[in-house]
Structure 1
Amino acid sequence: MKTAIKLALIYLAMQILGALAVGPFTMIYAYVKYGTVERASEFALAPTLLAGFVFMLIYLWQKGYLTGDKRLYSPVSVSYLSWSAMMGISMIYLIDFLMSNLTFLPDWLSDTFDLLQSGWLGIICVAILGPILEELLFRGAITKVLLKKYNPVVAILISGLIFGIFHMNPAQVVGATLIGFILAWIYYKTHSLIPCVLIHIMNNSLSVYLALKFPDVEYSSELIGEKAYLTGLVIAFLLFILSWRMMNTYKLSNTTTEI
């Protein structure tokens, strides 16, 4: 538990280090180029985030979390990836429904995400690079450490909670925790990060796309009629159960016991 929490805190420290190392230079450059503090802040946000990613990646590599276990990057079958994608899509829909009923939770990072999504580097960080690094950290390092110390159920629950709480944004904590449970379970079943990365990128990329395409829309229910939305909800629930059952029983070379 201590190691898992320590890794999450180190990631936070690396983000701060990235801001200190890169932020001032990008701010000065952007201010000279654009002439306003607001525009300079927009320009500096993505590079500082990327720097934090790089620092954390280097740390994980040096500490051996990214090497030594070939299963971490082992391919899974096309069939398993297909079921993973189906689970990811259905899970996104179900969590959207849940969060539409938790609108009282404040969104502290709304403006930050808007700034990140205002440029291509920020979009790439949120949609692709962030998910890859977070899977390396939260599943490849933290979940792996927890599985060595606790039984699978406890390890998965702790991993998901750490993942959710780490987002430090009330509007994201619930959804991120649920996604964290699923991704930790998939890692436990396969010992591979590939399906985890796939689902995480799908989730973030879809969120970015919808935010850019429909900036005034908060939830999917606002895009389609109530009847169609409820029908989609039932279908998503059934697909989630089906994909979970198929993924739980599918035979992989790295498969462990069912859970």
Structure 2
Amino acid sequence: MNSTLKVCINAIGYVVVFALLQVIMQYPVSAIYAYCMDVPFSLVINWVTIRPIELINEVIIPSTICAHILSIALFLLLKWTPISTHYISKKPYQVLGLIVLFSLFLVLPLAGIYELMGIEMDKNMEMLFNTMMQKPFGIVAVAILAPIVEEIVFRGAILRILLEYFSGSKAWIAITISAVTFGLFHGNLAQAVNASFLGLILGWLYYRTKSIIPSMVLHLVNNISAVVLTLSFSSESDIKVVELFGNNLPLAVGCLTVSALLAFGTFMLIRKKI
């Protein structure tokens, strides 16, 4: 088997395994719920398929958490994502601190770009995500476990193996493929665009550091920020960026510009230090 085919098969295999685990875990959790509530298993599966928000506490969140934990264990135990303390042993606390700031500075510019593009998430999916992020264990799934498992899968496994083939000046091809795959995995155009862009930055961090720790930190801060914003404006799901500043357009533009400049400046500092 030539190296190109092997890399493609392995990368696709990682995505398929991760996706299957997300789906498969719904069945045992649904079976337990059906047994406890003394209702037909087929009925519960039907609810999960067409009305997931009604079983968000009972099935969706538990199955998501179980799938994430199982995925983390599988990828680490099978060494699809190698474990190493090499990067953290260098005590890169200054760089990690800059990454936290960079992620925070990115929140407003990304929200502005997202709004300008006019891409909207499906209302049912948006309601599902918003509801999930208002539940304690939903926050754990979205803000904590999701960034960890996605970095293990998309950077630690998929990008790692792609970089073994697309090395040197071709590294950007591996980073782009992993970023687009990461975006498409989210299953909707709205998240795919944001996730793909974020995936480029996460991939670059992995490429430069050979560690998932920096990308994981950025990803964690990004998701936690999303949860905080959702909880802060849960009663106004369609709120616009300018409305965050009392409909004062000059103030909104000024804050977006300053935030974008701070993000760029912080990124250049990170680039210099790694």
TM-score normalised by the chain length of structure 1: 0.86
Whole-angstrom distance in 2 between the partners of 1:75 and 1:187: 16
Shift of 1:58: 2.6
Which residue is 1:52 aligned to?
Answer: 67
Corresponding residue for residue 179 of structure 2:
160
Asked if residue 243 in structure 1 is aligned to residue 233 in structure 2, the reply is no
Which residue number corresponds to residue 122 of structure 1? 138
One-letter code aligned to 1:244:
F
Residue 93 in structure 1 maps to residue 113 in structure 2: no
Q: Secondary structure at the match of 1:168?
A: coil
- In structure 2, the partner of 1:256 is none
Change (3 A) 1:74 1:146: farther
- The structure-2 alpha-carbon separation of the partners of 1:166 and 1:240, relative to structure 1 and needing over 3 Å to count, comes to same
Aligned twin of 1:174: 193
Q: Percent identity over the alignment?
A: 25
Range moving further from structure 2, 46-55 or 98-107: 98-107
- Say which of 7, 10, 24 aligns to 2:17: 10
> 1:228 pairs with 246, 251, 257, which one?
251
CA contact (8 A) 2:108 2:256 kept: yes
Whole-angstrom distance in 1 between the partners of 2:261 and 2:149: 31
Q: Match for 2:201: what amino acid?
A: I
1:176 and 1:104, CA in 2 relative to 1: closer, same or farther beyond 3 A? closer
2:69 and 2:140 mapped to 1: Cα distance? 14
Tell me the equivalent position of 2:160. 144
Q: 1:78 and 1:68 mapped to 2: Cα distance?
A: 19
Q: Which moved more, 1:58-67 or 1:184-193?
A: 58-67
Call closer, same or farther: CA 1:121–1:246 in 2, change over 3 Å.
same
Which secondary structure state, in structure 2, belongs to the residue aligned with residue 101 of structure 1? helix
What is the Cα deviation at residue 127 of structure 1? 0.7
User: After superposition, what is the alpha-carbon deviation per residue over 1:125-183, rounded to whole angstroms, capped at 9, x for unaligned?
Assistant: 10111111111111111111111111211111111111111111111111110000000
5+ residue gaps in structure 1? Answer: 252-259
Alpha-carbon RMSD: 2.3
Q: Does the Cα contact within 8 Å between 2:155 and 2:206 map onto a contact in 1? A: yes
CA distance, structure 2, for counterparts of residue 143 and residue 92 of structure 1? 25
100 and 28 in structure 1: CA distance in 2 versus 1, 3 angstrom threshold: farther
Separation of aligned partners in 2, 1:30 and 1:212? 31
**For the structure 1 residues 189 and 183, does the alpha-carbon distance in structure 2 shift closer, same or farther, using more than 3 Å as the test?**
same
Of 111-120 and 6-15, the range deviating more from structure 2: 111-120
CA–CA separation in structure 2 for the residues paired with 1:79 and 1:139? 22
